Amino acid sequence: MAAAPLFIVFLGPPGAGKGTQAKRLSQRLGLAHIATGDLFRMHLQNHTKLGQLAQEYMKKGELVPDSVTIAMVEERLKEPDTAAGAIFDGFPRTLAQAEALDALLAEHGARVNAAILIQVPEAVLVERLSGRRVCRAQGHVFHVKYNPPKVPGRCDYDGSELYQREDDKPETVRRRIQVYWEQTAPVIEYYRSQGILTEVDGNQDIDQVTEALLTVIAALQQGGVDAS
C-alpha cells in the first residue's frame, strides 16, 4: 500500500530561510516544492491566462487577489510530482488562502499534515536581508558578512558594481517583516488551533535548521508531532 501524501506548510518572515530549506527538504524527501514566487514568475513569463490576470492587478499597483494565487496553486497540485506530497513555501499567506488550501487538498483525500514556523529574531532578519548586495550586470548575489566579494563593492564574476536593492534597506526590511506578521498571524493561529503547528529555531547554521526540520517531519511520519 502506497504511503499517504505528505503536505507541509513552511511559515516564517522574509529572511527566515523558508526557500532555502524548502529546496533542501524537497530534494531529501522527494516532495514537490511549491513556491508562490516561482508560480508567479512562470505564469507571467508564459503569458498564461492567470499570469495575464495577475499582471493587470500588478500594473495598477494593486495586490493580486487571493483567488488568482489559489488558482495557480490548484493548477500546480495537478502536476504528477505532487503525488507524494509537497512543501509549500510562501503559501498560504492569508486565512482565506489557508482555508482554500484545505479545500483543495480535501478534494484529493489529503490534508496539511504540518505547518512549521521558522523563528528568527528580527535583528537577525534585518542583518541577513540588509547585508545583501546584487551585481548590476548579471544579478549575482553577495552578502557583506556571510558571502563578501573579494573586492568590496565589486562582483567577483564580472567586476560590475554591487548595489543594495531598495527593498533590502533596513527600514524597508523592518516594514516587510511587520507586514508579514500582520498578514500571516491569523494563518499561524489557524494551524495552531488544529494542533499541527510546530516552531523551529531558524537562528542557527543552515545544516542545523535542516536537521531540526527533518526531525519534526520524521516524528510526523511516525505519527507523533509535538506541536507547540
Identify whether 136 is a catalytic site residue: no
Q: What pLDDT shows up at residue 142?
A: 95
Average pLDDT over residues 165-186: 93
**pTM for the model:** 0.88
CA–CA distance, 69 with 48 (Å, rounded to integer):
13
Q: How many domains does the chain have?
A: 1
* Span 88-120, pLDDT tens digits: 999 999 999 999 999 999 998 999 999 999 999
Give the helix ranges, DSSP H, for the chain.
Answer: 18-29, 36-45, 49-59, 66-76, 95-106, 122-130, 170-193, 206-221
Place of cell 509535538: 226
In a domain, 113, yes or no: yes
In a domain, 157, yes or no: no
Q: Pick the catalytic residue: 23, 169, 174, 176? A: 176
Could you tell me the CATH number of the domain that includes residue 206?
Answer: 3.40.50.300
Identify whether 49 is a catalytic site residue: no
N-terminal to C-terminal alpha carbon distance within the chain: 31
Q: Pick the catalytic residue: 24, 76, 128, 132? A: 132
Q: Pick the catalytic residue: 23, 93, 169, 192? A: 93
In a domain, 143, yes or no: no
Average pLDDT over residues 182-208: 96
Q: Is the per-residue pLDDT at 224 higher than 90?
A: no
* Span 54-75, pLDDT tens digits: 999 988 888 889 999 999 999 9
In a domain, 62, yes or no: yes
In a domain, 168, yes or no: no
Domain of 45 in residue numbering reads as: 6-120+183-221
Q: Pick the catalytic residue: 18, 24, 76, 128? A: 18
Identify whether 132 is a catalytic site residue: yes
